[in-house]
Structure 1
Amino acid sequence: MPPPPAKWRGRCDFNGKRTCNNKLVGARNFIWDGDAPVEAIPHGSHTASEAAGSPVEAANVFGQANGTAMGIAPKAHLAMYKVGIESSALAAMDAAIEEGVDVLSISMSYSNGSVPFFDDVFALGAFRAIQKGIFVSCSAGNGGPSPNTVTNAAPWILTVGASTIDREIRATVELGNNVELYGQSLFLPEGFHTKQLPLVDPASNGESAAFCEKGSLKNIDVKGKIVICQASFPEWRIFQGQEVKDNGGAGMILINGVEDGDTIIPDAHVLPASCLGYKDGLLVKGYLNSTSSPTAAISFQGTLIGKSKIAPQVASFSSRGPSLLSPGILKPDIIGPGVNILAAWAESVDNATNSFNVVSGTSMACPHLSGVAALIKSAHPNWSPAAIKSAILTTAYTGDLGGSPISNEQNVPATVFDMGSGHVDPSKALNPGLVYDIEPDDYIPYLCGLGYSDKQVRTIVQRKVNCSSSIPEAQLNYPTFSISLAPGDNQTYTRTVTNVGRANSRYMSVVVTWKGIIGVEVTPNEIEFKEVGEKASYSVTFTRLRNVATSNSSTTSFRQGSVVWSGHDDDGGKYVVTSTFAVVFI
């Protein structure tokens, strides 16, 4: 690694016990406890290594997911800031800005998405960052799959949801009727017999037994049997297996609840086990009820890559839109890898020399996008944070490896409130063709349009403002649209795009949506650029053509689609610039 750039003004506060290097160029503690900036929980090490970790060969956990671990931007420098309460987080963000960071990656939230931007420390700190040209990426939260749970939803923040990847650590359940079901487990025991064993479900003994809670199986005959347990919270699942083991159980089948669906998180169990998705769990219970002598076996195949064609899939826990604070801005923005991610861990989970762990959460997805932003910033140092965000959103993809639309945890097509523009495509984001740019002052009329007072807006932008003029949320020059239409209503919004492709390029628009329910008209439908950096504006009119039944849920009565600009230049370059939209019926 080369030394940090000359602009870097940070420092390391390790009190002489350890030092920084050319990878870790800054480390500070803002909890004010007098300690060095060393984490108690390795969350920060994991997320930092995902964003910018240097290559490490033979990275694995229990021998699984083995390979070379590397961050998205492995040549980037890292600065770490330890925070606690909200004021410490804002102080850390201010320090990072002054010390010269290029990207802020924030895998945390203090709210449930209902705190106004003028009271939200991450919204406040992020605005100060974008005023200095610093890109800010934040996790969307782990409140899914319920609607209106997205956090960190300010439009100047990239709000990142989580998706699955095509790597699994397979543990197959074979039922006595020869049906095979694919689950996962991080612990693959050596010498475990894969023969059929009696299968038992303790659920008839009450909810505590159904979840295999501590002490719940002591009066149930599970000795030498494979026990079905309803999957609990991830941090409790190891203890479920311990309860089975303590009472003589030979193995365990964890079954997801309906909300977790097919988002399977492997654990380092204390006995042979496999976690199954909700629908496969129904097959297990159906078989159990079909015979008086049910049996099952568990076999372990280990790490498999590319076998799952439904990846990427929106993770069950990934928070969903619409945003409570600003429903006129489509959130989350994007999804990225956030399920079963192997990355650095400050303490070993299996031996003294292999400090890696597999962890899931939107906290893991966020640094993937932060790394992508760093790559774009390196390739295009003069691009604004809004331009970088636009490049990421307008080049995202919406299909899985099997060629079907990206699905959610229920295996039904994901909506824009699940995944925003779709899944990040780092390569295409480097060359988007067009970008939707936003200057910091452009957010002022947007904030006034939210009904904020002059004082509240001043708290965000850090200068005197006058809210005598405002714009609707959807009029902000955002790369996506989120609007609400009453019966017979129509609304028109304007967007301005900047040519960052090549000179002498031409684009034509195509609208993809539900015909006969909403009308979408783009004017003009062709735009042409003579020069790089040239701007062009267009308008989009959304019309509700016929009534659709509405309900109390803000995510059930809507239609989605996209405005797609397809372009080419004189040198044969081709571009596809996609602006996703949601039309909510009110």
Structure 2
Amino acid sequence: MPPPPAKWRGRCDFNGKRTCNNKLVGARNFIWDGDAPVEAIPHGSHTASEAAGSPVEAANVFGQANGTAMGIAPKAHLAMYKVGIESSALAAMDAAIEEGVDVLSISMSYSNGSVPFFDDVFALGAFRAIQKGIFVSCSAGNGGPSPNTVTNAAPWILTVGASTIDREIRATVELGNNVELYGQSLFQPEGFHSKQLPLVDPASNGESAAFCEKGSLKNIDVKGKIVICQASFPEWRIFQGQEVKDNGGAGMILINGVEDGDTIIPDAHVLPASCLGYKDGLLVKGYLNSTSSPTAAISFQGTLIGKSKIAPQVASFSSRGPSLLSPGILKPDIIGPGVNILAAWTKSVGPTDFSIDEATNPFNVISGTSMSCPHLSGVAALIKSAHPDWSPAAIKSAILTTAYTADLNGNPISTEQNVSATVFDRGSGHVHTLRALNPGLVYDIEPDDYIPYLCGLGYSEQQVRYIVQRKVNCSTPTLIPGAQLNYPTFSMVLGAGDQMTYTRTVTNVGRPFSTYISKVLSPQGVAVKVMPSVIRFKDLNDKASYTVTFTRLENVTRSSIIGQGSLVWNSIGDDGYKVVSTIAVVFV
């Protein structure tokens, strides 16, 4: 299969209409067979094993990332359902609901985040699921880093973004001026002797050559040289290397575009290669222009763990909020491991990924919010096992209020541009499995509680009925704004002089005779008042309500159009519960 045309170089995803553009998000691993999509690579096998795969020793790809592979909930029973067009996806969800699953993990989307919930098959199917007590997690989509690209944003779904991990499969580029740049490559040839070779950038021959597209290097002298190629659509990067190899190139340096930043994906290349982040790519270009005889060498260091202290970092492709459909609900909800994840595979690895052949490899390393979603599905399964009586909303609350927001260096989680991630990049933060099992307090929501929320979105009674599958009354007294839903986070739009008051109810799942004191980190330009500031519980499962008033301050200079903060309920005593609700504000 040849590389894609230039217009497909961005985030090119299946969206149910056989079209492709760089803002639509979906199951990008599909090809078309007649009128139905079929899986071109073992996406389902990979995601299923991440959620509930049994331990497998010596799992690796080409000897890299070697170790014991295991899903998040390895003792869980696993059922897989084949889907294609939208109607088949809804049928598969109905079958899963009828068969009594506890968790639904959905690593795909048919929309670009602008389809109303009553028209979204996953929102519809997920609501039926939560009515039966089934937890649903979905990938946030691969439309990042652009804002407003988050998909699967219904509040009854856990919407999962992707983060990096602290494992590298390192391929170092050493420039002729002795500058070393750390890239990655899954293919690391044994016995390869690194040496300085001429370095060439074919970009002066046009955009096609800059991306090393098929046939573009035919009339360019790359023989025996290391060739610079602008990184293309992830699944096509190995074909860029094939073009270099076919024309006699000795190696390749892939350079991320500005949108991909420092999110580096190691590929199973066909020749010695290294993928570098955007900033390192600028150093390569700068060196290239500084000398008449540029050279470079590529050396391989294999798998390194713990070297990247900036992990976790929000992946460049991870879709961002705010949600276009419901700005009163913070989306994405959470981030989890989704970059360079090793999991089960049933085909060959490398350029033959898109061919029908008998060669197989038991594991592969790939990236996407498709990978982060099953990590959270596995976490939900563990919580459900520990607390079988908890509702889907309570499980989600436990995950969100216990998330962490600092990387391994103790600095705020950053994005692929190495700037602090906003709440619309990371949601509540990165999942912390152990804390989520014992959160102290939870924010619970019954399925019928979503009805006044849906009416408040302006949906007609017929549209709401289509979602909840029964008659509803959307009279004015029953309407609530999205931010009034008993959600574990706060998200709102504040204009000049606006003041918003919302009520929340928490349930004690920690210990009896407990007391919690509130602590607020107010968003810049907003005053936050909590009443009462202390809540007490006598027994487990007792409930307590409080109100929060948000007032926009006009005499405070804001540094951006968004504000972010948190409301924390800290327990008094040795248990040390810390229940965090993230606050997101959009200023208008």
Tell me how far apart the structure 2 counterparts of residues 276 and 39 of structure 1 sit (CA, whole Å). 29
2:429 matches 1:422: yes
2:566 matches 1:558: no
Match of 2:210 in 1: 210
Question: What is the CA deviation profile of residues 148-198 of structure 1, one whole-angstrom value per residue up to 9, with x for unaligned ones?
Answer: 000000000000000011111000011111111100000001232211111
Tell me how far apart the structure 2 counterparts of residues 172 and 580 of structure 1 sit (CA, whole Å). 39
Match of 2:374 in 1: 367
State the AA in 2 paired with 1:425: H
Match of 2:387 in 1: 380
Match of 2:226 in 1: 226
State the AA in 1 paired with 2:488: P
Match of 1:27 in 2: none
Match of 1:578 in 2: 580
1:500 aligned to which of 509, 513, 532: 509
User: Please, which runs of 5 or more residues in structure 1 have no aligned partner?
Assistant: 1-30
State the AA in 1 paired with 2:474: C
Tell me how far apart the structure 2 counterparts of residues 449 and 536 of structure 1 sit (CA, whole Å). 25
Match of 2:445 in 1: 438
CA-CA distance at 1:406 after TM superposition: 0.4
Task: Give yes or no for contact 1:386–1:436 (8 Å, CA) kept in 2.
Answer: yes
Secondary structure in structure 1 of the residue aligned to 2:322: coil
- Say how many residue pairs are matched: 547
Please report the RMSD computed on the Cα atoms of aligned residues, expressed in angstroms.
1.9
2:532 matches 1:528: no
Task: Give yes or no for contact 2:523–2:583 (8 Å, CA) kept in 1.
Answer: no
Match of 1:304 in 2: 304
Match of 1:487 in 2: 496
Identity of aligned residues (%): 86
User: TM-score under structure 2 normalisation?
Assistant: 0.91
Secondary structure in structure 1 of the residue aligned to 2:571: strand
Task: Give yes or no for contact 1:485–1:584 (8 Å, CA) kept in 2.
Answer: yes
Tell me how far apart the structure 1 counterparts of residues 392 and 508 of structure 2 sit (CA, whole Å). 16
Tell me how far apart the structure 2 counterparts of residues 465 and 406 of structure 1 sit (CA, whole Å). 42
Match of 2:407 in 1: 400
Secondary structure in structure 1 of the residue aligned to 2:536: strand
State the AA in 1 paired with 2:72: I
Secondary structure in structure 1 of the residue aligned to 2:252: strand
Secondary structure in structure 1 of the residue aligned to 2:346: coil
Match of 1:172 in 2: 172
Question: What is the CA deviation profile of residues 50-89 of structure 1, one whole-angstrom value per residue up to 9, with x for unaligned ones?
Answer: 0000001111100100111000000000011101111111
Match of 2:353 in 1: none
State the AA in 1 paired with 2:342: L
Tell me how far apart the structure 1 counterparts of residues 431 and 325 of structure 2 sit (CA, whole Å). 25
Task: Give yes or no for contact 2:346–2:360 (8 Å, CA) kept in 1.
Answer: no
Match of 2:155 in 1: 155
Secondary structure in structure 2 of the residue aligned to 1:282: helix
Task: Give yes or no for contact 1:348–1:356 (8 Å, CA) kept in 2.
Answer: no
CA-CA distance at 1:353 after TM superposition: 7.2
State the AA in 1 paired with 2:88: S
Tell me how far apart the structure 1 counterparts of residues 418 and 54 of structure 2 sit (CA, whole Å). 35
Task: Give yes or no for contact 1:39–1:82 (8 Å, CA) kept in 2.
Answer: no
Matches of residues 123-142 of structure 1 in structure 2 within 5 Å? 123-142=123-142
Task: Give yes or no for contact 1:549–1:557 (8 Å, CA) kept in 2.
Answer: no
Distance 1:117 1:549, change over 3 A: farther
Question: What is the CA deviation profile of residues 86-110 of structure 1, one whole-angstrom value per residue up to 9, with x for unaligned ones?
Answer: 1111111111111110000000101
Task: Give yes or no for contact 1:548–1:557 (8 Å, CA) kept in 2.
Answer: no
Tell me how far apart the structure 1 counterparts of residues 208 and 85 of structure 2 sit (CA, whole Å). 35
CA-CA distance at 1:488 after TM superposition: 1.6
State the AA in 2 paired with 1:384: S
Tell me how far apart the structure 2 counterparts of residues 138 and 478 of structure 1 sit (CA, whole Å). 17
Tell me how far apart the structure 2 counterparts of residues 285 and 120 of structure 1 sit (CA, whole Å). 45
Secondary structure in structure 2 of the residue aligned to 1:383: coil
CA-CA distance at 1:40 after TM superposition: 5.5
State the AA in 2 paired with 1:328: G
CA-CA distance at 1:219 after TM superposition: 1.6
Tell me how far apart the structure 2 counterparts of residues 56 and 180 of structure 1 sit (CA, whole Å). 35
2:419 aligned to which of 406, 412, 422: 412
CA-CA distance at 1:214 after TM superposition: 1.1
State the AA in 1 paired with 2:387: H
CA-CA distance at 1:321 after TM superposition: 0.4
2:549 aligned to which of 532, 541, 552: 541
CA-CA distance at 1:354 after TM superposition: 4.3
2:329 matches 1:321: no
Task: Give yes or no for contact 1:334–1:422 (8 Å, CA) kept in 2.
Answer: yes
Secondary structure in structure 2 of the residue aligned to 1:82: coil
State the AA in 2 paired with 1:567: S
Tell me how far apart the structure 1 counterparts of residues 227 and 78 of structure 2 sit (CA, whole Å). 46
Secondary structure in structure 1 of the residue aligned to 2:396: helix
Task: Give yes or no for contact 1:513–1:561 (8 Å, CA) kept in 2.
Answer: yes
Secondary structure in structure 2 of the residue aligned to 1:391: helix
2:282 matches 1:278: no
Secondary structure in structure 2 of the residue aligned to 1:80: coil
State the AA in 2 paired with 1:583: V
Task: Give yes or no for contact 1:60–1:354 (8 Å, CA) kept in 2.
Answer: no
Matches of residues 219-258 of structure 1 in structure 2 within 5 Å? 219-258=219-258
Tell me how far apart the structure 2 counterparts of residues 295 and 245 of structure 1 sit (CA, whole Å). 18
Secondary structure in structure 1 of the residue aligned to 2:321: coil
User: Please, which runs of 5 or more residues in structure 2 have no aligned partner?
Assistant: 1-31, 351-357
Task: Give yes or no for contact 1:565–1:576 (8 Å, CA) kept in 2.
Answer: yes
Tell me how far apart the structure 2 counterparts of residues 236 and 98 of structure 1 sit (CA, whole Å). 39
2:527 matches 1:519: yes
Match of 1:71 in 2: 71
Q: Which moved more, 1:193-202 or 1:122-131?
A: 193-202
Match of 1:355 in 2: 362
Tell me how far apart the structure 1 counterparts of residues 433 and 572 of structure 2 sit (CA, whole Å). 20
Tell me how far apart the structure 2 counterparts of residues 413 and 513 of structure 1 sit (CA, whole Å). 17
CA-CA distance at 1:347 after TM superposition: 2.1
CA-CA distance at 1:513 after TM superposition: 3.0
Task: Give yes or no for contact 1:108–1:141 (8 Å, CA) kept in 2.
Answer: yes
Tell me how far apart the structure 2 counterparts of residues 548 and 174 of structure 1 sit (CA, whole Å). 49
Secondary structure in structure 1 of the residue aligned to 2:535: strand
Secondary structure in structure 2 of the residue aligned to 1:372: helix
